[in-house]
Amino acid sequence: MHCPKCRGVMRTYTRSGVHIEQCDNCRGIFLDYGELEALSRLEAQGPGWAAAPPPAAGTPPVQVHHHHGAPVHHHRPYHGGGVFHMLFST
Amino acid sequence: MTGPVSPDISQPELFDLLAGIGRERAGPGGTPPPEPLYDRHGVLVVRVGDVVVKAHQADRGEDPDLGRRVALAGDLPELFAAPLGPPLRVTGGFGERTVTVTAFGEPVHPDDLPWRAAARLLADLHRRPVPPDAPGWGRPARVARLVERLPDGPAAGEVRRAFATLPAWIREGSPDPDPAGEHLIHGDWHLGQMVRLPDGSWRFIDVEDLGRGDPVWDLARPAALHSAGVLRPADWTAFLTSYRAAGGPAVPLLGDPWARLDIPARTLAIQIAATCVISARGTDRPLDEAETALVDACTRISRMVA
Ligand SMILES: [Zn+2]
């Protein structure tokens, strides 16, 4: 595989378990959205003072099939007083 | 309407005046009755049909750069639902106020938060060339003002201790002495600053802090809420990934972004915690779960830095 920018040789390396392509010549990195998302999830979790992640961190919300209608994603809603203002007002 | 709606308008005279301005500007098809959209913190926003009329906070209304900020947003119609003309000054028993008129857009629904669209819109704004006459942004001056107003008590003490860890320029409300980059930034971004147009695309509203500054401050609020454990982790990942994928310059494409995000996230965590403590004391109620999470974040900040 060749670099789409400079036609240099692309090499695959593994970063946090995610494969990424880097050009030997221009050092350009090529990755798709899913790979970028995986790296952001693994490498960008928080500052030193961040809250401990909840036990389900990193896993998708549980899918529950209701007896009629489409599957519904269940998660903690953002409605209640305090959190609504934090998201929606200065 | 998802925002707080007050059935009793705090300033009826100003409401009537805004409604009148709205009726003049509203498009054809009759003028539906004026509807209050927001009436808090000295800001009054009234919808009349397809326009929204906003009376800005009295103490912020005299920003000499507001006209330039409005014009700047007007030059970016693909990013801003900008005011439909220059700001107006109105006077009455309420004093003198600045008023802007904007096309109505649908606000964000709390069940369907557009983290990815918001991140792409921010990255797009941050990548625009900075016009030579762009004014500087006005923050982060708010955190110091709020900490000043904190009542006594243990929660307020935690917030004060965390505030002491911030760099002097933030504690003093001064401009950033050494901005990491100069870009166009929204300056006060949160999900209440987005509206959806009839074609489904999103725009920013509120140009009061639009200007030249370090773009990392536009990511500060979600970064703070994520660090406090208030956001779902997947929401933070979606926001950050979309910002990076869209070429946003505030954080590096790969690796740990927290060297850049730490101080802005800390500042916003402290600012939001202070807002919560003041609001809870003002209405004599306990902190709720999310508000407690922000005060706990303040405790961790001062422990980590001490
Ligand atoms: Zn190359």
Domain of B185, CATH number, reads: 3.90.1200
Count of the separate structural domains present in chain B: 2
Instruction: Give the chain A residue nearest B274 (alpha carbons).
Output: A86
User: What is residue A80's predicted lDDT score, i.e. its pLDDT?
Assistant: 67
Q: Are B178 and B302 in contact (CB under 8 A)?
A: no
This prediction has a pTM of 0.88
> Nearest CB to A49: which of B244, B272, B297?
B297
Q: What is the DSSP letter of A17?
A: T
Q: What is the distance in A from the centroid of ligand 1 to the CA of A11?
A: 11
Omega of the bond leading into A60 within 30 degrees of 0 (cis): no
Using the Cβ of A39 and the Cβ atoms of chain B, whether some distance falls under 8 Å is answered with yes
Q: Under an 8 A CB cutoff, do A88 and B230 touch?
A: no
The two beta strands, A18-23 and A29-30, are antiparallel
User: What is residue A57's predicted lDDT score, i.e. its pLDDT?
Assistant: 45
Q: Do B216 and B294 share a domain, yes or no? A: yes
Using the Cβ of A53 and the Cβ atoms of chain B, whether some distance falls under 8 Å is answered with yes
Q: Do B25 and B174 share a domain, yes or no? A: no
> Is position B4 within any domain?
no
Q: What is the distance in A from the centroid of ligand 1 to the CA of B209?
A: 40
Q: Under an 8 A CB cutoff, do A88 and B191 touch?
A: yes
How many whole angstroms separate alpha carbon A87 and alpha carbon B186? 16
Residue whose C-alpha is closest to residue B264's, from B154, B182, B108, B142: B142
Q: Under an 8 A CB cutoff, do A88 and B262 touch?
A: no
Length of chain A: 90
Domain with B29 in it: what CATH number? 3.30.200
Q: Which helix (H) or strand (E) holds A37?
A: helix A33-43
User: What is residue B43's predicted lDDT score, i.e. its pLDDT?
Assistant: 87
The alpha carbon of residue B194 is apart from the nearest alpha carbon of chain A, in Å, by 9
The architecture in CATH of the region A1-45 reads Roll (3.10)
> Is position B110 within any domain?
no
User: What is residue B173's predicted lDDT score, i.e. its pLDDT?
Assistant: 85
Query: Which amino acid, B290?
Result: A
Q: Which residues of A touch B225 (CB under 8 A)?
A: 86-87
Domain coordinates of chain A in residue numbers?
1-45
Q: A34: which residues sit within 8 A by CB, 6+ positions away?
A: none
User: What is residue B69's predicted lDDT score, i.e. its pLDDT?
Assistant: 94
How many whole angstroms separate alpha carbon A61 and alpha carbon A56? 8
Q: Do B76 and B165 share a domain, yes or no? A: no
Q: What is the distance in A from the centroid of ligand 1 to the CA of A3?
A: 5
Helices (H), B60-102: 66-74
Q: Which helix (H) or strand (E) holds B102?
A: strand B95-103
Q: Under an 8 A CB cutoff, do B288 and A81 touch?
A: yes
User: What is residue B9's predicted lDDT score, i.e. its pLDDT?
Assistant: 76
Residue B95 phi, psi (nearest 5):
100, -150
The alpha carbon of residue A7 is apart from the nearest alpha carbon of chain B, in Å, by 22
Q: What is the distance in A from the centroid of ligand 1 to the CA of A21?
A: 10
> Is position B3 within any domain?
no
**What are the strands, taking DSSP E only, across chain A?**
10-15, 18-23, 29-30, 63-64, 72-73
Using the Cβ of A86 and the Cβ atoms of chain B, whether some distance falls under 8 Å is answered with yes
How many whole angstroms separate alpha carbon B94 and alpha carbon B58? 9
> Is position B49 within any domain?
yes
Instruction: Give the chain B residue nearest A73 (alpha carbons).
Output: B111
Show contacts of A19-26: CB within 8 Å, 24+ apart: none
Question: What domain range includes position B256?
Answer: 115-305
Q: Edge-to-edge, what's the strand order for the sheet holding B202-204?
A: B106-107, B194-196, B202-204
Q: Do B20 and B98 share a domain, yes or no? A: yes
The alpha carbon of residue A60 is apart from the nearest alpha carbon of chain B, in Å, by 8
Give the pair of three-digit tokens for residue B128: 């625009």
Cβ pairs A/B, distance under 8 A? 116
Residue whose C-alpha is closest to residue B212's, from B144, B271, B128, B268: B128
B-interface mutation test, from A49, A63, A84, most B Cβ less than 10 A away? A49
Residue whose C-alpha is closest to residue A44's, from B245, B218, B259, B124: B259
Helices (H), chain B: 12-25, 66-74, 115-127, 142-148, 154-163, 168-171, 220-227, 233-245, 258-282, 289-305
> Nearest CB to B300: which of A36, A49, A88?
A49
pLDDT in tens, chain B (306 residues): 444 444 467 789 999 999 999 999 876 666 789 999 988 878 899 999 889 999 988 765 478 898 999 999 999 999 999 889 888 999 998 889 999 999 899 999 988 999 999 999 999 999 999 999 999 987 688 999 999 999 999 999 999 999 999 999 999 988 888 877 789 999 999 999 999 998 999 999 989 899 999 999 999 999 999 999 999 999 999 999 999 999 999 999 998 999 999 999 999 999 999 999 999 998 999 999 999 999 999 999 999 876
Q: Under an 8 A CB cutoff, do A82 and B2 touch?
A: no
Low-confidence spans in chain A with pLDDT less than 50: 57-74
> Is position B91 within any domain?
yes
